[in-house]
Structure 1
Amino acid sequence: MTVTDAPLVDTHFHLYTTDMPITPWAWHHPPEDATAEQFIDIMDRHGIGFGVVAAASLYGQYNDYVIRSMRRHPRLRGTAFVRPETDMYTLERMKADGIVGIRLFFRRVPDPPDLASPEYRLLLRRVRDLDWHVHTLVSGDALPAVIDAVEGAGVKLVIDHFGKPDEALGVNCPGFKALLAAVERGRTWVKMSAGFRMPSRDAARGYAQALLRVSGGERLMWGSDWPFAAFEDKTTYAQAVANLRDWVPDAATRRLIGAETPMRLYFGA
């Protein structure tokens, strides 16, 4: 894929420095910094115009570095981890700084969110009022319940990494089937990202084909997952860009996925 044919928006990557406070339950300890300036340089070298920072679960509610990076670089937007009791004024300030949604993490955390609780129902209402979205990764049988709760709250939902289907079941995974149905209903978006985390290149291609059959490319987006946590030396940004052509051979559909949809969702363009 040439620079001129590259996606316009990378909708999933992480920014951090190794001296940031890390959570006690962190599943990975990054070996080196992944700074905003490093990523801006990578974007420019690969023809990427805009980026959406995915809040990294390793750092919990420490959103400070991401927010300061967005203040320095208007090309960036991001999601944040917030406590359910976070007040409206704090959330509004975060929105002014470039935050476009909250990330909810249900894997590898000691206390996953209970979306039926009064605290989270209140947070979801505030997310709806802000015209934000919930950004999450839930695998296996847990995904249908999360979809139901977020949709029931009238909130937009963005799901990472093809929904990370159960490796043994693939496209027949109940969670993946629920994801496909949610995409058809029109308030759920899916990131075609982190193909290197899938069991094989064929598996990633199969998930992409299933999503394309259902959506025609609508409500799909692309992300690199840079700096490839736990896979830092096993893949490259160039490969992540090339994966989009592999998954989506049609150029017009790639433009929809790599530019038009994410610009509307994240940048209001």
Structure 2
Amino acid sequence: MPDSFKIDAHVHVFTTDMPLIDNPRHAPNYSFTHQQLIATLDENGIDRAVIAAASPWGDYNDYTLAALRAYPQRLRGTAIFKRPVERIVLEAMSRDGFVGMRLPFIGLPKLPDITTFDYRALFCRLADLDWHVHPHVEGDDLPKILPTLEACGVKIVVDHLGRPDPKSGVNSEGFRALRRSIDKGRTWVKLSGGYRLGPQAKQVARELLRVAGPDRLVWASDCPFVGHEGQFPYRATIDWLVDAIPDATARAKIFGATARELYFNGE
């Protein structure tokens, strides 16, 4: 695989006719189709991408499924589930390119209890199928959910640099919990959403590289930047990683090789 090989590990696709949940955090009034995604990847020299399920559309995973079927060589996806899911359903979704489940907990007044049987049984099924769980929470909530996920043996992929507390950053309890989870060997982190953290984002990325190494880190754009539309050209997210991770060898793994193993089974 050439050093130029790149995988965007966090993108969204949606259309205006998709059903929104009640009181969504965001309600985009435009479409970003899978055709637009592929065109964006091609324009920026990106080989593949992973679609992250987005909370505004809840467990309406239908359009992600359509995208995966349209571009099976280039796309993988995560899903949101609102209820227990039988193994036979998960196996069928695996064949279509789903590789993980997202927990859309950010912004909720109270975290759901993931220690219940329904959650734990689902996590164990995901572990059996080699899927990952993708928690969407603020960094301060990571200590509340990581132990349960770890106990179920499922792979964990944390987005947006772990979203550490802006004031305490790498010294926050959430970031310390993330470090402990990485040390246990089944947790990865997306170097994405740097614009959400402000000036400390590059420091956090470099600290993650120091404690986790490039084999536990993947790059992602967060395209099309829902809630921040028009503020960040796609190319800026590539340039950000080049600046944040000066080591070219480590950067090449973060851009592509690690994500290729994690999401595409090395293919």
Aligned ranges for residues 105-124 of structure 1 at < 5 Å?
105-109=104-108, 112-124=111-123
- Alpha-carbon distance, 1:131 to partner: 0.9
- 1:148 pairs with 2:137: no
Candidates 25, 28, 49, aligned match of 2:26: 28
Kindly tell me: are residues 192 and 7 of structure 1, through their superposed partners in 2, closer, same or farther at Cα, counting changes over 3 Å? farther
- For residues 121 and 185 of structure 1, the distance between their equivalents in structure 2, rounded to whole angstroms, comes to 19
> Is the contact between residue 25 and residue 109 of structure 1 (CA under 8 Å) also seen in structure 2?
no
> Which string of whole-angstrom CA distances, capped at 9 and with x for unpartnered residues, describes residues 146-178 of structure 1?
111111111110000011111121111100111
Q: CA shift at 1:84, angstroms?
A: 3.6
**3-state SS of 2:9 partner:** strand
Rounded Cα–Cα distance in structure 2 between residues aligned with 1:188 and 1:150: 10
C-alpha contact (below 8 Å) 1:193/1:225 kept by paired residues: yes
How far apart, CA to CA, are the structure 2 residues paired with 1:235 and 1:6? 22
2:102·2:135 contact (CA, 8 Å) conserved in 1? yes
Aligned residue number for residue 166 of structure 1:
165
Q: In the aligned structure 2, how far is the partner of 1:206 from the partner of 1:264?
A: 26
From 222, 225, 235, give the equivalent of 1:225: 222
**1:55–1:80 Cα contact (<8 Å) kept:** yes
* Aligned-residue RMSD, C-alpha: 1.5
Residues 1:31 and 1:170: Cα distance change in structure 2 (over 3 Å): same
Could you tell me whether the CA contact under 8 Å between 2:161 and 2:205 is conserved in 1? Answer: yes
Provide Cα deviations, 1:113-170, integer angstroms capped at 9, x if missing partner.
Answer: 3211011111111111111010112224320121111111111100000111111211
Q: Does the Cα contact within 8 Å between 2:6 and 2:46 map onto a contact in 1?
A: yes
Secondary structure (helix, strand or coil) at the match of 2:49 reads: strand
**What is the aligned partner in structure 2 of residue 132 from structure 1?**
131
Count of residues paired in the alignment: 264
Gaps of 5+ in 1: none
Q: TM-score, with normalisation over the residues of structure 1?
A: 0.94
Greater CA drift, 71-80 or 133-142 = 133-142
> Is residue 137–residue 164 contact of structure 1 (8 Å, CA) maintained in 2?
no
Matched, 1:208 2:199: no
1:196-250, Cα deviation, whole Å (9 max, x unpaired): 111x2x3111101110111222200000000001110111101011111011111
Q: Who is 2:233 aligned against?
A: 236
Question: Secondary structure at 2:31's aligned position in 1?
Answer: coil
Three-state SS of the structure 2 residue aligned to 1:186 is coil
2:252 corresponds, among 242, 255, 258, to 255
Return the offset for 1:6.
5.2
Query: Quick one: percent identity of the two aligned structures?
Result: 44
Any gaps of 5 or more consecutive residues in structure 2? none
Write the letter of the residue equivalent to 1:15: V
Aligned CA distance change for structure 1 residues 121 and 222 (closer, same or farther; 3 Å): same
Q: Aligned ranges for residues 34-49 of structure 1 at < 5 Å?
A: 34-49=32-47
1:66 to 64, 72, 93: 64
One-letter code aligned to 2:208: L
Residues 1:103 and 2:102 are matched in the alignment: yes
CA contact (8 A) 1:105 1:113 kept: no
Give 2:85's aligned residue: 86
Whether the 8 Å contact between 1:137 and 1:163 is mirrored in structure 2 is no
CA separation in 2, counterparts of 1:213 and 1:44?
Answer: 31
Alpha-carbon separation, structure 2, partners of 1:216 and 1:122: 31
Contact kept? 2:54, 2:104, Cα under 8 Å: no
Is 1:191 equivalent to 2:190 in the alignment?
yes
Preserved contact between residue 7 and residue 241 of structure 1 (Cα < 8 Å)? no
1:218 partner SS: helix
Moved over 3 A (4+): 4-7, 109-113
CA shift for structure 1 position 112 = 4.1
